[in-house]
Structures are given as structure tokens and as C-alpha cells.
């Protein structure tokens, strides 16, 4: 979210703006979940969802992290907090 468009070509600036907008939308979607279990379930879905593939590709092209890059950290936090998700 903090990546700056400075010094980037126009196409990269547009791509950056797009992924920042998409990320803001995702943040708001996650804030709307009613439980930690919902966050975990939806995070798992978002790791490989078809809808997220374009944003993930854009983030990688801009050399920015995707949710896949924070999966291990997320899993550790889920474990630390003792969040249980039914299968």
C-alpha cells in the first residue's frame, strides 16, 4: 500500500494504482468478516482464487508482495491465536 509511483513509467503507475485500489477493497472486505474463522477461510480461498490471479500477477510484476508471500506469517499468527477452522 505504501509503494510510490515516483520514477515509474506510466503503465506501471496505472498498474500500481489498480493494485492499491484492489488491496483497499480487500482490506475492507476482510474488516467486514464477523469472526477470525471467516478471515482464515477467506484468506485460504484468496491464496489461489481465479479472481485474485490478475492482482497477484500485477503485484509480482511490480516487485511487490502478494498474500502468498505472507502465508507462513499468517499461519503462524492463526496458530498463535488458536483460531480453529472446521473443515
With CA atoms as reference, report the closest residue to 35 among 74, 80, 87, 83.
83
With CA atoms as reference, report the closest residue to 1 among 61, 77, 65.
65
With CA atoms as reference, report the closest residue to 77 among 27, 51, 28, 39.
39
Instruction: Give yes or no for residue 7 having a pLDDT over 80.
Output: no
Distance CA 75, CA 21 (A): 25
Residue 8 confidence (pLDDT): 79
Quick one: residue 85, left, alpha or beta (phi over 0 = left, psi -120 to 50 = alpha)?
A: beta
Domain ranges of the chain: 10-81
pLDDT digits (tens, 9 = 90+) for 27-80: 999 999 999 999 999 999 999 898 888 899 999 999 999 999 999 999 999 999
Residue 32 confidence (pLDDT): 97
pTM of the model: 0.79
Residue 35 confidence (pLDDT): 95
Amino acid at each position: 500500500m505504501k509503494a510510490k509511483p515516483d520514477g515509474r513509467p506510466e503503465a506501471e503507475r496505472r498498474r500500481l494504482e489498480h493494485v492499491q485500489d484492489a488491496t483497499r477493497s480487500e482490506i475492507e472486505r476482510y474488516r467486514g468478516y464477523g469472526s477470525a474463522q471467516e478471515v482464515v477461510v477467506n484468506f485460504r480461498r484468496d491464496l489461489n482464487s481465479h479472481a485474485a490471479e490478475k492482482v497477484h500477477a500485477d503485484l509480482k510484476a511490480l516487485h511487490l508482495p502478494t498474500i502468498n508471500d505472507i502465508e507462513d506469517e499468517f499461519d503462524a499468527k492463526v496458530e498463535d491465536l488458536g483460531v480453529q477452522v472446521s473443515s
